[in-house]
Structure 1
Amino acid sequence: MNLHLGNIGQIIQLAIAPVFLLTGVGTNLTVLTNRLARIIDRSRTLEDLVNTQGQEVLTPNMQLELDELYQRMHLINRAITLSSTCALLICLVIAALFMGDALDIHLDKLIASMFVLGVFALIGSFMFFLREIFVATKTLRRQREHGAKFLP
């Protein structure tokens, strides 16, 4: 294990791009978890309304909205899973950069593979996020077109 100051400087320079990506993924996770919290709050509000009114059966509008909320929740959960996978892979890239240099192991193909997998995971996360936005927009459009008012 022979570390030189010049090598560490180069490794830190190589690690800067993944660190910036990791910061963006963290922000993405914040947005996704906030959306998930709002979806959960809305579904709990609908379920509480049904329970307090003592209804055995949901109205068709309420059932439709709950179904859409559950669909959105699953999409956001998948996006969060893929964003978290991306973050984990990027952290492993950073660790592998330093460990490869410190132990003088050639991990270039492993590092490149993990980085590419992380980017693919992030792409998948954004695709699920975009799909969730489409479902949410469709729900709002449907409510507006039909003048449906679900809750105050």
Structure 2
Amino acid sequence: MNSLPQTLPAIQTIAQAIQLSLSPIFMLAGIGSLLNVLAGRLSRVVDRARDLEALHPRSAGPEHDRHVWELRILDRRINVINRALVLTVSSAVMTCAVVAILFVAVLLKLHIGTAVALSFILAMILLIAGLISFLVEVHMSLIAIHIRPELLEKGTDA
């Protein structure tokens, strides 16, 4: 009466699957933090672009040229941040797939270690690509923070 069908996995096997899935779960927490940073940066860039778009029609001469220059950089930054977001979210999806595959493999007693490993490698490659895109965007933002020389000259206001 107490015997369960032999097809159900043992509690110990499930516990091992949970232990195996902890690393990808911690990775997901880190990816979530990175996504939060990327979304915040995107929001700030979009806000700055909207501010400049409002100033653009009312500007002329060197000020107009500076606005156009900054808008071009902001447009490129938006594209790079978007790429970083897509890559990072794709990494998160693959990481979730790794966890799901681990549990399916345990429950169905499948020997698909290669699929799990390849899925995790793909998740890491996507994360690396997302981090590189993030680094590129940070570099672009540092280029955009160009303080005009005339603002740095000593004046009579001090």
TM-score when normalising by structure 2: 0.85
Secondary structure of 2:111's match? coil
Once the two structures are superposed, residues 27-73 of structure 1 have per-residue CA deviations (whole angstroms, 9 ceiling, x without a partner) of 0000000000000000011112235x387xx8110000000001111
Which runs of structure 2 are paired with 1:78-89 in the superposition (5 Å)? 78-89=83-94
Aligned-partner Cα distance in 1 for 2:148–2:135: 21
Counterpart check, 1:10 vs 2:12: no
Once the two structures are superposed, residues 93-151 of structure 1 have per-residue CA deviations (whole angstroms, 9 ceiling, x without a partner) of 000000011111112111100101100111001101000011110111x3344649xxx
Give the superposed CA RMSD. 1.7
Q: 1:145 to 1:112 in 2, by over 3 A?
A: farther
Alignment partner, residue 100 of structure 2: 95
Q: 1:144 to 1:7 in 2, by over 3 A?
A: farther
Q: Is the 8 A contact 2:56 2:64 kept in 1?
A: no
Answer with 116-125 or 58-67: which moved more: 58-67
Alignment partner, residue 40 of structure 1: 46
Identity of aligned residues (%): 33
Counterpart check, 1:26 vs 2:17: no
- Counterpart of 2:67 (choices 62, 67, 88) is 62
Aligned-partner Cα distance in 2 for 1:75–1:145: 28
Q: For this pair of structures, how many residues does the alignment match?
A: 144
Aligned-partner Cα distance in 2 for 1:85–1:35: 19
| Structure 2: runs of 5+ lacking an equivalent | 1-6, 153-158
Q: Is the 8 A contact 2:84 2:133 kept in 1?
A: yes
Aligned-partner Cα distance in 2 for 1:23–1:9: 21
- Counterpart of 1:143 (choices 141, 147, 156) is 147
Q: Is the 8 A contact 2:84 2:134 kept in 1?
A: yes
Structure exhibiting the larger radius of gyration computed from Cα positions: 2
| Structure 1: runs of 5+ lacking an equivalent | none
Secondary structure of 1:31's match? helix
TM-score when normalising by structure 1: 0.89
Secondary structure of 1:143's match? coil
